[in-house]
Amino acid sequence: MNISKQLSVMKLETKRLVLEKLEMKHAEAFYSYRSDAETNKYQGWIPYALEDCQHFIKNRIAKKFNETGTWYQLAIVLHSTNEMIGDLGIHFIEGDDQQIEIGCTINKEYHAKGYAKEAIIATMNHLFCELKKHRVIASVDPKNTASIKLMEKLGFRKEAHFKESILINERWVDDVIYAILASEWTAIND
């Protein structure tokens, strides 16, 4: 894995993917799958227009990587075609520089091909091995069985199940928290 870091930009490369900061050049691809109700049925944010994605990119993504209290969004891009197929959010939790939350969305045309797993592994290796973070969590809708299987396959454990704790599209939904410690990740991936 090739890792490139600058003051404000983080970029990871794997065999099939490039993970780079989500920028305006990605707005149309971002909108094309994030506006799809099927792809995003378990998420709270669905853009209704391209402008929603442009606003998100301009105003909701941290300028610097690894800044406590911010979200940093990575575009997941195929090496072979330079096509953006998804995104991965990294939440540097306010007041705690050792714990991170992650979330990943893949265009439904690219589901079940291992891209989410590959992107998350690269990100987790960077968070634990390079940045020396202690713990990573993921918030998952309990109906999202594909994401739950992926979390479990990666070694995350279920830590909590909150009943009707998130309001999505005017409906209260459950939230399941998965987590893994750096020591657990290292033991699994050595």
51/71 Cα distance (integer angstroms)? 19
Average confidence (pLDDT) over 72-77: 97
Q: For residues 115 and 15, is the Cβ–Cβ distance under 8 A? A: no
130/128 Cα distance (integer angstroms)? 6
When divided into structural domains, the chain yields a total of 1
Average confidence (pLDDT) over 165-177: 89
Of the listed ranges 11-15, 39-43, 60-64, 97-101, the one predicted with least confidence: 39-43
DSSP notation for 96-155 = -TTEEEEEEEE-GGGTTSSHHHHHHHHHHHIIIIIS---EEEEEE-TT-HHHHHHHHHTT
pLDDT recorded at residue 189: 76
Q: What is the pLDDT of residues 20-33, one digit of tens each?
A: 999 999 999 999 99
Mean confidence (pLDDT) of the chain = 91
pLDDT at 98 over 70: yes
Domain interval for residue 158: 2-189
| CATH number of domain containing 109 | 3.40.630.30
Residue 115 region by backbone torsions, left for phi larger than 0, else alpha for psi between -120 and 50, else beta: alpha
Q: Percent of the chain at pLDDT above 70?
A: 95
pLDDT recorded at residue 7: 39
pLDDT recorded at residue 170: 83
pLDDT at 3 over 80: no
Q: Is the pTM of this model over 0.85?
A: yes
Q: What is the pLDDT of residues 131-161, one digit of tens each?
A: 999 999 999 999 999 999 999 999 999 999 9
